Amino acid sequence: MATLTQQRPTPKAVPTNGDATLDRIAALYREPEWLTRARRDALAAYAGSALPDRVTHLWRYTAPEQFIPQDGAAALAAPSASGKREFPSVLADELGPESVAAAAYIREGLVWKTAVDEELSRAGLLIMDLHEGARQKPELVQQHLGSLIGADFGKFEAFTNAAWSGGLLVYVPRGLELSRPVHLVTAQPVHLTDVAGRLLVIVDEGASLTLIDEYGDGAAASIPQRTHHIVEAFVGRGARFTYAPIQNWNRNTTSYMTQRARLDSDARIDVVMTSMGGASAKVDCGTILSAPGGESNIYGLAIGDQSQRFDHHTVHRHASGRTRSDLKFKVALRDNADSVYTGLIRIDEKSAFCEAYQENRNLILSPKAKAESIPELEILNNEVRCSHGATVGRIDEQEIFYCESRGIDRAEAIRLIVAGFIEPIVQHVPDIAQSRLRSTIIRRLEER
């Protein structure tokens, strides 16, 4: 496997706000004019927009102030460029036996290292720094970047559109069906207070891609940090995309992530997202089914303990008839953790013959944990089959009693029941990450 170690120039510490920052980014990365222009517009949009109001469910339970990036923070700073750039062991261990098609490591706001299987690289598979992609493949990047999540999406998305660095482009050419996953890891920043990054995924007609996208690696940091990420995915006609984001930032991190996928005709996306880290994490994840035959399945798992706060919003927007969506979001909370889940299914006026299902299950494992569930439906076409369900509760004593009566002690019984609760979601995680994730989650939820 050829490893392309890209040595990007390392920018010095610059403030996150202001045109000066953008000028420096533009110069350092030799950005095309159109990209710098888009950043400037985004910065203006960010500066010119008010904080979201607290009335809509989207922001009712989460204070927007916590996501405001720090002024004049030491951003985009990185340790000296000298010294070898290595992959973390989780990636190195997969690259060795070639159990992944490609890997990329993002660190301190830089694309630290990428590696792509030689043969697949020749077949046109691209895993590259987004700046590099913008220069080499402008026709690909320019038409897609920011078209799903642009500066007008929201205040914080405008910020990320302006200030992102260490962006990644993943492109799978027409007809290329990958049998091995692509694995991305974004490290916990160590020196930065704010990190803004983005991922652009394009799966061309008839292609298929499985992508594991990990954020945070357990590294400790003494300073409070904010992470801002945008993920845009375009799934072409008849193509298939399996996306597994795993969020495990440290307990000093406030994270904000917006993700959107757009499906072409007969395209399919399966998202399996896991949220485990951060002091406070807000996610907005959705699919726009814009052509007939599209199918979107979103599976989510949020695991909270201590005083963690999760705010997840999902959207399935049926902008075309004859599309199908399914969503299962499960939450398990200990201690004083708090979770808000708001999910919208929207069937547009002209979208006939759609099916949409949604399920949110909240398992409360401690007396002070709290869950809010707001599954919403907006149905404007009558040729539809749509339903949703939500439950909130703790473990049924009957189930524990059943286990105990079979010689299983209480602690083990709870462990089994919790494992059973998360399993329907975890089983959708790509194989190479599945058992690692399963044991991490069960350990987190164990009684202490």
Partner 1 sequence: MPSTEVSLGKVADVPVGQARVVEVAGTRLAVCNVGGTIHVVDDRCTHDDGPLGAGTLYGHAIECPRHGARFDVRTGAVLRMPAAYPVRAYDVRVDNGEIFVDLGDDAA
Partner 2 sequence: MTELSKTRHVQKQNDISVREDYATRYGFADPEEYFHRAPVGLNHEVVEMISQLKHEPDWMRQFRHASLDTFLAKPMPTWGDTALLNSIEFDKIRYFVRSSEKQETNWDDVPAYIKKTFDRLGIPEAEQKFLGGVSAQYESEVVYHSMRDDLTKQGIIFKDMDTALRENEDIVREHFASVIPMADNKFAALNSAVWSGGSFIYVPPDTEVKVPLQAYFRINAKNMGQFERTLIIADRGARVHYIEGCTAPVYSTDSLHSAVVELIALDGAYIRYTTIQNWSNNVYNLVTKRAVAHKDSTVEWVDANLGSKLTMKFPCVYLMGERAKAEILSVAFAGDGQHQDAGAKVIHAAPNTTSRITSKSISKGTGRASYRGLVKAYPNATNCKVSVECDALLLDESARSDTYPTMEIASEDVRIEHEARVSKIAEEQIFYLQSRGLSEDEARMLIVNGFFEPFVKQLPMEYAVEMNRLIELEMEGSVG
Smallest distance from partner 2 to CB 322, Å: 15
366 binds partner 1 (CB under 8 A): no
Smallest distance from partner 2 to CB 57, Å: 7
Indicate which of partner 2, partner 1, none lies near residue 44 (CB less than 5 to 8 Å, by partner kind): none
Indicate which of partner 2, partner 1, none lies near residue 370 (CB less than 5 to 8 Å, by partner kind): partner 2
The 10 Å Cβ neighbour count of residue 64 is 18
> Which residue of 55, 84, 398, 443 would you call a contact of partner 2, by CB under 8 A?
55
The 10 Å Cβ neighbour count of residue 119 is 11
Smallest distance from partner 1 to CB 272, Å: 31
336 binds partner 1 (CB under 8 A): yes
Contact set for partner 2, span 351-410 (CB under 8 A) = 352, 362, 364-394
Of 48-56, 108-116, 149-157, 216-224, the segment contacting partner 2 by CB under 8 A is 48-56
Indicate which of partner 1, partner 2, none lies near residue 336 (CB less than 5 to 8 Å, by partner kind): partner 1
**SS3 label, residue 4:** strand
Tell me, residue by residue from 253 to 292, as one string, x for binding to partner 1 by CB under 8 A and - for no binding: ----------------------------------------
How many Å apart are CA 355 and CA 292, to the nearest integer? Answer: 12
> Which residue of 136, 143, 307, 427 would you call a contact of partner 1, by CB under 8 A?
307
How many amino acids of this chain bind partner 2 (CB under 8 A)?
Answer: 38
Sign of CA dihedral 90, 91, 95, 96: negative
* Residue 223 or 377 having the CB closest to partner 2: 377
Indicate which of partner 2, partner 1, none lies near residue 386 (CB less than 5 to 8 Å, by partner kind): partner 2
How many Å apart are CA 80 and CA 135, to the nearest integer? Answer: 25
Indicate which of partner 1, partner 2, none lies near residue 366 (CB less than 5 to 8 Å, by partner kind): partner 2
* Residue 127 or 384 having the CB closest to partner 2: 384
* 287 backbone φψ class: left, alpha, beta (φ>0; ψ -120 to 50): beta
Indicate which of partner 1, partner 2, none lies near residue 403 (CB less than 5 to 8 Å, by partner kind): none
Question: Which residue from 89, 118, 113 is spatially nearest to 101, judged by alpha carbons?
Answer: 118
Question: Which residue from 274, 282, 286 is spatially nearest to 247, judged by alpha carbons?
Answer: 274
Q: DSSP assignment of 317-385, as one string? A: EE-SSS-EEEEEEEEEE-TT-EEEEEEEEEE-TT--SEEEEEEEEEEE-STT-EEEEEEEEEE--SSEE
How many Å apart are CA 100 and CA 91, to the nearest integer? Answer: 9
List CB contacts of 391: < 8 A, sequence separation 6 or more. 360, 361, 362
Site residues, partner 1 (CB under 8 A): 307, 336, 368
Site residues, partner 2 (CB under 8 A): 53, 55-57, 349, 352, 362, 364-394
